[in-house]
């Protein structure tokens, strides 16, 4: 665990969110297309949330903090 870098992990999630956002749609139609779009939206949401997290690693415990309060 000593080589684990929580900030690098956060950076990877930011990159994944970016990749999902830029990803094109495959040539699918109908219900499959809708399922693909829904899955991409969930992927982006999850990766973006983790990409916005503050990460700390103390005593072998990884803590991710994500502020979900509305921005004013």
Q: Two tokens at 39?
A: 């899955």
Domain presence at residue 12: yes
Residue at 15 is within a domain? yes
pTM, rounded to two decimals:
0.79
Q: Please, what is the end-to-end C-alpha distance for the chain in angstroms?
A: 38
Quick check: is 20 in a domain? yes
The pLDDT score that the predictor gives to residue 22 is 94
Residue 46 clears pLDDT 80, i.e. is over it:
yes
Q: Classify residue 10: in a domain, yes or no.
A: yes
Would you say 9 and 55 are in contact if contact means Cβ atoms under 8 Å apart? yes
Structure tokens at 14: 């930011």
Q: Which residue shows structure tokens 């684990």?
A: 4
Q: Report the mean per-residue pLDDT for the chain.
A: 91
What is the spatial distance between Cα 68 and Cα 41, in angstroms, rounded to a whole number? 18
Number of domains in the chain: 1
For the record, the structure tokens of 7 come out as 């900030």
> Which residue range is the domain that position 58 belongs to?
6-65
Q: Is residue 11 part of a domain?
A: yes
What does the pLDDT look like over 11-32, one tens digit per residue?
999 999 999 999 998 899 999 9
């Amino acid at each position: 665990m000593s080589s684990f870098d929580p900030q690098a992990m956060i950076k990877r999630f930011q990159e994944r969110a970016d990749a999902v956002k830029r990803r094109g749609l495959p040539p699918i139609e109908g219900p499959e297309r809708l399922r693909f779009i829904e899955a991409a939206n969930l992927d982006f949401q999850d990766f973006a949330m983790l990409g916005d997290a503050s990460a700390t690693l103390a005593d072998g415990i990884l803590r991710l903090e994500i502020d979900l309060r509305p921005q004013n």
